[in-house]
Amino acid sequence: MTTLFTNARLIDPEGGTDAPGQLLVRNGRIAAVDAASDPAALLAAQGLRAEDVTVQDCGGKCLAPGIVDIGVKVCEPGERHKESYKTAGLAAAAGGVTTIVTRPDTAPAIDSPETLEFVTRRAQADTPVNVLPMAALTKGREGREMTEIGFLMDAGAVAFSDCDHVVTDTKVFQRALAYARSCGALVIAHPQEPVLSRGAAATSGKFAALYGLPAVSPMAERMGLDRDIALLEMTGAKYHADQITTARALPALERAKANGLDITAGTSIHHLTLNELDVAGYRSFFKVKPPLRAEDDRLAVVEAVRTGLIDIISSMHTPQDEESKRLPFEEAAAGAVALETLLPAALRLYHAELVDLPTLFRAMALNPARRLGLDSGRLAVDAPADLVLFDADVPFVLDRFKLRSKSQNTPYDGQRMQGRVEATFVAGEAVYRRD
């Protein structure tokens, strides 16, 4: 199967380019990337006949590497009514996400090879996009005993994380990091001082004070990161901070990178595009973890994405049913669905002229793929043909009831967005086309 994407605006995060061109896909991989616009010449150079090639006219729209999303929660096992592999897969495909890296914070947690195998089977049966599972770092995500990191890697775990549970016992975390290093495993942690942030529903500041919400200082994130960095110096482990959301944590991250530690950092699309004031009248769809920050923090984090200090943007897709959100703000569950809104929301940063498209796809495709040792996330010959075709400019109003996720807890409901996915391809095959 050979497909030629013509008349495209190619977004190449590796080269940092955003330019017209065409792209040839053969046998699920990228066979040629060409800045010229003459299909016949390209086919001739590749020794192909026109009748053997399917042509996809991109109509000048953007063609970029498919998004690699680290930290997607699919609620299997345990809460399939919130999100299944099937619905998550449909949502991902519709959102231009070609690889989802799933979180182990299910009920029960994915902390044994047996559970991981179950999840992998479910994913293969039902999901049109690539699914790579993460496993818990400690059993039951309880922070007491490490999981079978070696066996779990053999079963396909690509990273180890207790998700939003901080491993409070520093000795346990140190040992887990040291052991993970010996296996070559990537550990993903949630940098947060756990005692300071206990019970918090908002970031401390004018807003939380006025609304009388239990709040955590943004400093708790830096304190958590500082501890983790010290442990990396001790253990030399391979580490990724799931969400850096505050300005004060950035200098510590920069120093750790300069000192040569094996550290990367992510942030969530919500912290890049929303701030604490969006919660307004206790709107629980805006309750995420860590809580939304002040506008100064948001801008600092956007800038860190632009410079590359923050490596990765994730959806932090967290489905919650209506019942767990229709509660007083303090009691409501945290999290938001975001697989389908990740790209349009990220394009807000592009339209605000804060970040260009190659930089966005560096953070959403190239860097996460590299961090996981995948060869996707690039528009390069021999890379997997995981691609997203999107119109960066078309405006629309988001209607949450049209989302494909089983849960529709998005903070962007009713908001104006700009940019929409036209089609998504995994290994050269279309897994989504807009009707």
Q: Interface with another protein by CB under 8 A: which residues?
A: 204-206, 208-214, 281-282, 323, 326-331
**Residue among 262 and 330 whose Cβ is closer to another protein:** 330
Question: Beta strand 215-216 with 429-433: parallel, antiparallel or unpaired?
Answer: unpaired
User: How many Å apart are CA 170 and CA 152, to the nearest integer?
Assistant: 23
Closer to another protein by CB, 51 or 323: give it: 323
Nearest approach, Cβ of residue 289 and another protein (Å): 18
Give the C-alpha separation, 94 to 98, whole Å: 10
C-alpha 385/C-alpha 395 separation (Å) is 28
- Taking the complex as a whole, the smallest distance from the CB of residue 400 to another protein amounts, in Å, to 17
Place of tokens 């089983």: 406
Candidates 342, 382, 383, 380; CA nearest to 363 is: 342
Is the dihedral angle over the CA atoms 190, 192, 194, 200 positive or is it negative? Answer: negative
Nearer to another protein, 323 or 353 (CB): 323
Which has the closest alpha carbon to 346: 285, 390, 384?
A: 390
> In terms of CB distance, is 154 or 296 closer to another protein?
296
| Between 35 and 209, CB nearer to another protein | 209
CB of 180 or CB of 279, closer to another protein: 279
**Nearest approach, Cβ of residue 326 and another protein (Å):** 5
* Token pair recorded at residue 245: 């959301």
The distance of closest approach from Cβ of residue 202 to another protein in the complex, given in angstroms and rounded to an integer, is 10
Minimum CB separation of residue 5 from another protein in Å reads: 48
Question: Are the CB atoms for 286 and 411 separated by under 8 Å?
Answer: yes
Q: Annotate 300-327 with b (16+ C-beta within 10 A) or e (fewer).
A: bbbebbbeebbbbbbbbbbbbbeebbee
Here the tokens at position 433 are: 């086309």
To another protein, the closest distance from the beta carbon of 284 in angstroms equals 8
Give 327's contacts (C-beta < 8 A, 6+ positions apart): 284, 333
| Contact between residue 276 and residue 208 where contact means Cβ atoms under 8 Å apart | yes
Measured CA to CA, the distance from residue 159 to residue 372 in angstroms comes to 8
From start to end of 263-331, where are the E strands? 263-268, 312-314
Residue 331: CB minimum distance to another protein, A? 6
CB of 328 to another protein, least distance (A): 4
Q: Euclidean distance between the first and final Cα of the chain, in Å?
A: 23
- Residue nearer to another protein on the CB measure, 11 or 208: 208
Q: Which two tokens stand for residue 244?
A: 């850096």
Nearer to another protein, 38 or 296 (CB): 296
Task: Report whether 316 contacts 270 (CB < 8 A).
Answer: yes
Map tokens 């065409």 to a residue. Answer: 22
Q: Which of 112, 204 has the CB closer to another protein?
A: 204
Least distance to another protein from the beta carbon of 394, Å? 33
Q: Which is nearer to another protein, 9 or 325 (CB)?
A: 325
Task: Give me the least distance between CB of 330 and another protein, in Å please.
Answer: 5
- How does 56-82 read in b/e, with b if 16+ C-beta sit within 10 Å? bebeebbbbbbbbbbbbbbbbeebbeb
